[in-house]
Structure 1
């Protein structure tokens, strides 16, 4: 599979397929989107929102959540806001999310099955990582979106003039539903 991707890339560059994607680093619509990494959203999300290359900053992770107040998601949002001119943030979770009902203990058991040493897990716990909050999922996508929106709105480093909105996208049809 990787060889196919690399071969495609070689031809893409050789044929100048990149030319129609040339833009700058500043998002034209001044929006950052935090969304799930689900493969169904790779093309569906931009198509359903009518966004194109250069329009928005998209930050993706498992579940569209903020698992640490000073982790990579907040860092990315801060760069987008402070350095790149973002004025609004959309948090977009989706229906049928794999992070919904995810259990940290099940993930840890699978890690051990894959050869991760229990001592490594214990050491990480000892360093203060709360596996339940870090690897655990959520019971309800709407409450997860509400929590993420609240985290962004109340974060001490996010300017108070930034508008933050929450949505659920239907992972089949692309329909957006606002989370209040």
Structure 2
């Protein structure tokens, strides 16, 4: 039932975002989703906020390091987008926010994202910090009951999608996690062209 709700929620957000503009196949969320804003923890005891990404186009994704399928696939796609961008990748940042703050320490999370892209940033925080950011972007997640005797043996059900913010932190596009590398790259390039 919960997985059905997650699928419904993702579909509702995408539908609510409206019809995509002709310039890209991504869902235009300009004016529908809030600006980039958070206070979370990065590796090395560093606190990061949206101010750390000013001037960069941000591809934001919610997931967790122990995710068996969706998260590694999406991270691989985003890293491929960075390769496709070539020199322009310097103006783009992958930000991965964990919805599993119990297991994903900042250092574990950073090691995970760097396995896909050496410049990606992994962020986590307290339960409240993570819940606040997830709520802000309408991301639903639920930690499942542990299986077996190991309390750390569990999965986290979470809604999926890649949020793309422009260099001033405005929400611009929402992509399904199944979106092609070509479409994602075209959308990011559109924003880079607009910022000049």
Q: Scaled by the length of structure 2, what TM-score is found?
A: 0.30
Q: Which has the higher contact order (CA 8 A, sep 6+)?
A: 2
Q: Scaled by the length of structure 1, what TM-score is found?
A: 0.32
